[in-house]
């Protein structure tokens, strides 16, 4: 088995002077899922409810899960359920498929999926944030390198900084004031 290493040639981004988040594309249920945040600090893999719906997965495929998860800074996030899905990590003709347990969460975010340590460890992935790349062995023991999409990462980051618009209801009943 070849050792997994990174060199300056592994960087394929647009700006080497920035500390961008790791954002990539994966495949789930024959769909290319973009805006996948790689978060080595997360102890769970998350699929957001909007993404679940867009993948047209049946609600009955989920398994009940009522444990909350905690994010930064210790904010509590309620989970809906979880689902185990075969997930493909691909670069050209090379790929590796693993089973990922996604907690399905209803939250407003600019990402579709968050990949945490469970899937990264199952994949055997080595993440290099300076190179904006993830490397792992394929089933045939070749090294696969997936590069982060730096432009998309920046778009997601900027979208996440925008304040959320409050949902306003219009009460046009007589005698009531907005």
What is the tens place of the pLDDT at every residue in 36-48?
999 999 999 999 9
Residue 55: pLDDT band with limits 50, 70, 90? very high
C-beta separation of 13 from 24 below 8 A = no
CA distances (Å), 104 to each of 3, 24, 89, in order?
A: 35, 19, 20
Q: Strand pairing of 22-28 and 31-38?
A: antiparallel
- Longest CA span, the chain: 76
Higher pLDDT, 33 or 9: 33
Residue 28 half-sphere exposure toward CB, CA atoms < 13 A: 24
C-beta separation of 37 from 156 below 8 A = yes
pLDDT tens-digit map of 22-32: 899 999 999 99
Structure-token pair, residue 111: 């990402």
CATH fold of 12-161 reads Cathepsin D, subunit A; domain 1 (2.40.70)
Q: If we measure between CA atoms, which residue out of 35, 42, 26, 23 comes closest to residue 117?
A: 42
pLDDT of residue 71: 67
Mean pLDDT of 57-63: 92
142/13 Cα distance (integer angstroms)? 23
């Amino acid at each position: 088995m070849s050792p997994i290493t990174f060199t300056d040639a592994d960087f394929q981004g647009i700006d080497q002077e920035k500390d961008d988040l790791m954002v990539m594309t994966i495949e789930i249920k024959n769909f290319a899922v973009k805006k996948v945040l790689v978060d080595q600090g997360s102890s769970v893999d998350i699929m957001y409810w909007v993404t679940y719906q867009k993948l047209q997965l049946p609600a009955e495929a989920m398994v009940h899960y009522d444990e909350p998860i905690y994010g930064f800074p210790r904010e509590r996030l309620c989970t809906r359920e979880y689902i185990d899905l075969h997930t493909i990590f691909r670069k050209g003709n090379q790929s590796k498929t693993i089973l990922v347990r996604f907690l399905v969460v209803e939250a407003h975010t600019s990402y579709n999926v968050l990949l945490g340590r469970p899937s990264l460890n199952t994949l055997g992935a080595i993440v290099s944030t300076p190179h904006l790349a993830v490397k792992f062995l394929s089933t045939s023991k070749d090294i696969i390198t997936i590069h982060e999409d730096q432009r998309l990462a920046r778009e997601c980051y900027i979208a996440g900084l925008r304040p959320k618009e409050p949902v306003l209801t219009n009460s046009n009943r007589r005698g009531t004031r907005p």
